[in-house]
């Protein structure tokens, strides 16, 4: 996980201190990174009492990351969630850039339609750069002290790459934290998104809007009042090509069914059905548009009727040609998890699709997997999959989740009987990223995993 120490914005953590006294917490050794800590002495002392008692462990609290480019409607969504009736007591964290100091932001906890405000700043505060210690520990401490909220919404700055932030909370789940990553929700400014995606970064890296769309579990196409329904159709289809597994909804003023964004357990279950949806969308896209070259630049002979008057809403065929979704379907009865993981690690960590090189030692030939420098760097932003592992009891399925360079493979409870998640073959793996060349990926997979061409299909 790469991160930069530049531009560290302060982060403010909300408290609900409704009816709580404010006091300094100088002697709290667990919270070195918090300043202006607001402590309710009664709550603090009951926390200390609880340290030694046998009370049941705290229920884990879901955290949803809300991301999206500047002005896409993130704050509008937060306001909407905080004031809507629901069963959660929601706390909001803003991970803003420092032009307002990050200090004077109004922090909110919404409960049953009521919003109360308080704020707290992390001294070194920057969730995206300073990693776990500051962000996660501070939130955990706050939860112990306050215990007043049971859901956290983290709004990233519009310029943030959600990957590192998601990784912190996702991996923290494995470390036994009291919070877990529920999902990544991305707001898309329907009118301006094409312009934002066209912005090139000097170092050639992916721009943030592209990453925000690619990593989403839920995509909210907001501000649809500013585009035609035809443009909205096209936008939705294009988003699906970039991110085939996210669920997509269109909104105005971020008014979305809260079940669509809250408590979605996106990092928990992976359903074959969801992956089928990606498959179907990708197949449709291939049928509609026979451009197999992932590096094809739109607008240079693509043949589509570009809207010349308004580049912000021009119905270009794809939003971002470099990012796409690729699905591998394994038709074998099971998959060799060890071999698969080894291959995956090369894809994720070495950023290339390994190719076979035949090395001759005297009369013997050896296969070596190498990187080919003539191909673009591979940047996988998200992986989702489900498969039946080799040499495990019948019915065993494992789920794979990945965010940038991190991945996790866990056994999943079989949903046999529901008919929902039945896999015909060994399973499916979906990759979202840049540099995904379907045919090279397929060839590499076949050689690496010692499979025959009929064993795997790619779309
Ligand atoms: N026309 C229109 N305006 C909207 C819609 N949703 C939000 N807005 C307006 O767009 C502006 C930006 O919305 P915000 O919710 O502040 O966007 P944001 O993503 O939080 O913006 P940043 O904090 O700058 O990243 C505000 O003036 C909103 O009222 C919509 O669906 N249609």
Return the residue matching tokens 């009664």.
Answer: 42
Q: What was the pLDDT predicted at 365?
A: 59
Which atom of ligand 1 is least distant from the CA of 77? 15
* Gap from CA of 317 to ligand 1 centroid (Å): 26
Q: Do residues 97 and 11 touch, judged by C-beta distance below 8 A?
A: no
Q: What was the pLDDT predicted at 190?
A: 97
Choosing from 12, 67, 75 the residue with most ligand 1 atoms within 8 A of its CB, the one to mutate for a pocket test is: 75
Which atom of ligand 1 is least distant from the CA of 70? 25
Q: How far apart are CA 11 and CA 102, in angstroms?
A: 6
Q: How far apart are CA 116 and CA 91, in angstroms?
A: 10
- Exposed, middle or buried: residue 43 (CB in 10 Å: 0-12, 13-18, 19+)? middle
Which atom of ligand 1 is least distant from the CA of 68? 19
Q: What was the pLDDT predicted at 203?
A: 82
Choosing from 65, 71, 95 the residue with most ligand 1 atoms within 8 A of its CB, the one to mutate for a pocket test is: 71
Q: Which long-range contacts (CB under 8 A, 24 or more apart) does 103-108 make?
A: 103/10, 103/12, 105/12, 107/12, 107/13, 107/14, 107/15, 108/14, 108/78, 108/82
* Gap from CA of 71 to ligand 1 centroid (Å): 5
CATH architecture of the domain with range 326-458: 2-Layer Sandwich (3.30)
* Gap from CA of 193 to ligand 1 centroid (Å): 13
Phi, psi of 111 (to 5 degrees): -135, 115
- Exposed, middle or buried: residue 60 (CB in 10 Å: 0-12, 13-18, 19+)? middle
Which residues pair with residue 369 across a beta bridge?
A: 356
Q: Whose CA is nearest to atom 5 of ligand 1?
A: 253
* Gap from CA of 316 to ligand 1 centroid (Å): 24
Q: Whose CA is nearest to atom 21 of ligand 1?
A: 71
* Gap from CA of 74 to ligand 1 centroid (Å): 7
Q: What was the pLDDT predicted at 438?
A: 92
Q: Whose CA is nearest to atom 27 of ligand 1?
A: 71
Which atom of ligand 1 is least distant from the CA of 224? 31
Q: Whose CA is nearest to atom 11 of ligand 1?
A: 71
Please give the full DSSP string across 92-127, using - where no structure is assigned. EEEE--GGGTTTSPPPEEEETTEEEE---EETT--T
* Gap from CA of 401 to ligand 1 centroid (Å): 31
* Gap from CA of 13 to ligand 1 centroid (Å): 22
Q: What is the mean pLDDT of each run of 10 residues along the chain (459 residues)?
A: 34 29 33 27 34 58 91 92 83 56 38 46 37 54 64 83 81 64 95 89 85 95 96 93 94 96 83 66 60 38 34 47 88 93 94 75 63 76 92 88 89 55 81 92 91 93
* Gap from CA of 158 to ligand 1 centroid (Å): 11
Q: How far apart are CA 391 and CA 127, in angstroms?
A: 41
Q: Whose CA is nearest to atom 13 of ligand 1?
A: 73
Q: Which residues contact 69 (CB under 8 A, 6 or more apart)?
A: 158, 159, 187, 188, 189, 192, 193, 196, 208, 209, 212
CATH architecture of the domain with range 34-268: 3-Layer(aba) Sandwich (3.40)
Q: How far apart are CA 403 and CA 382, in angstroms?
A: 5
Q: What was the pLDDT predicted at 267?
A: 83
* Gap from CA of 72 to ligand 1 centroid (Å): 5
H or E segment and range at residue 408: strand 406-412
Helix axes 272-288, 229-242, angle to 10 degrees: 110
Could you state, in order of their start, the residue ranges of all structural domains in the chain? Answer: 34-268, 326-458
For residue 95 the two structure tokens come to: 């991970």
* Gap from CA of 189 to ligand 1 centroid (Å): 8
Which atom of ligand 1 is least distant from the CA of 79? 15
* Gap from CA of 65 to ligand 1 centroid (Å): 17
Choosing from 65, 70, 73 the residue with most ligand 1 atoms within 8 A of its CB, the one to mutate for a pocket test is: 73
Q: Do residues 326 and 242 touch, judged by C-beta distance below 8 A?
A: no
Ligand 1 is surrounded, with C-beta below 6 A, by 68, 70-76, 158, 187, 222-223, 225-226, 252-254
Which atom of ligand 1 is least distant from the CA of 226? 1
Please give the full DSSP string across 146-207, using - where no structure is assigned. H---SEEEEEEPTT--HHHHHHHHHHHHHTT-SEEEEEEEEEEETTTHHHHHHPPPTTSPPP
């Amino acid at each position: 996980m790469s991160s930069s120490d530049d531009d560290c914005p302060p982060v403010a953590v909300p408290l609900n201190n409704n009816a709580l006294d404010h006091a300094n917490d100088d002697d709290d050794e667990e919270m070195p990174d918090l300043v202006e800590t607001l402590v309710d002495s009664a709550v603090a002392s009951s926390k200390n009492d609880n340290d030694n008692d046998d009370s049941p462990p705290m229920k884990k609290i879901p955290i949803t990351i809300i991301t999206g480019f500047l002005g896409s409607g993130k704050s509008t969504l937060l306001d909407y969630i905080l004031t809507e009736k629901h069963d959660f007591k929601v706390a909001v964290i803003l991970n803003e850039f420092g032009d307002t100091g990050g200090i004077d932001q109004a922090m909110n906890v919404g409960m049953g339609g009521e919003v109360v405000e308080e704020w707290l700043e992390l001294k070194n505060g920057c969730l995206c750069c300073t990693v776990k210690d500051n962000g996660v520990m501070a939130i955990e401490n706050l939860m112990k002290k306050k215990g007043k909220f049971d859901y956290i919404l983290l709004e990233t700055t519009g310029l943030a790459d959600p990957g590192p932030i998601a990784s912190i909370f996702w991996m923290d789940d494995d470390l036994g934290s009291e919070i877990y990553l529920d999902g990544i929700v991305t707001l898309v400014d329907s009118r301006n998104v094409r312009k934002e995606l066209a912005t090139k970064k000097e170092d050639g890296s992916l721009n943030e809007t592209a990453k925000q769309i690619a990593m989403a579990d839920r995509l909210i196409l907001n501000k649809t009042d500013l585009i035609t329904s035809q443009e909205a159709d096209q936008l939705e289809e294009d988003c699906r090509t970039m991110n085939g597994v996210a669920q997509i909804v269109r909104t105005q003023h971020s008014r979305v069914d809260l079940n669509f964004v809250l408590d979605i357990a996106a990092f928990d279950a992976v359903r074959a059905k969801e992956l089928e949806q990606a498959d179907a969308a990708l197949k449709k896209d291939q049928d509609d548009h026979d451009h197999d070259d992932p590096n094809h630049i739109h607008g240079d002979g693509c043949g589509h009727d570009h809207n010349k008057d308004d580049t912000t809403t021009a119905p270009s065929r794809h939003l971002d040609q470099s990012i796409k979704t690729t699905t591998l379907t394994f038709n074998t009865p099971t998959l060799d998890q060890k071999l698969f993981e080894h291959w995956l690690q090369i894809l994720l960590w070495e950023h290339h699709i390994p190719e076979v090189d035949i090395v001759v030692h005297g009369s013997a030939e050896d296969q070596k997997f190498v990187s080919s420098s003539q191909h673009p760097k591979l940047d996988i932003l998200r992986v989702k999959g489900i498969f039946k592992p080799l040499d495990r009891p019948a019915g065993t399925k494992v789920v794979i989740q990945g965010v940038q360079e991190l991945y996790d493979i866990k056994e999943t409870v079989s949903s046999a009987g529901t008919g929902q998640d039945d896999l015909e073959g060994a399973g499916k793996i979906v990759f979202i990223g840049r540099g995904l060349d379907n045919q090279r990926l397929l060839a590499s997979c076949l050689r690496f995993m010692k499979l025959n061409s009929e064993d795997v299909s790619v779309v």
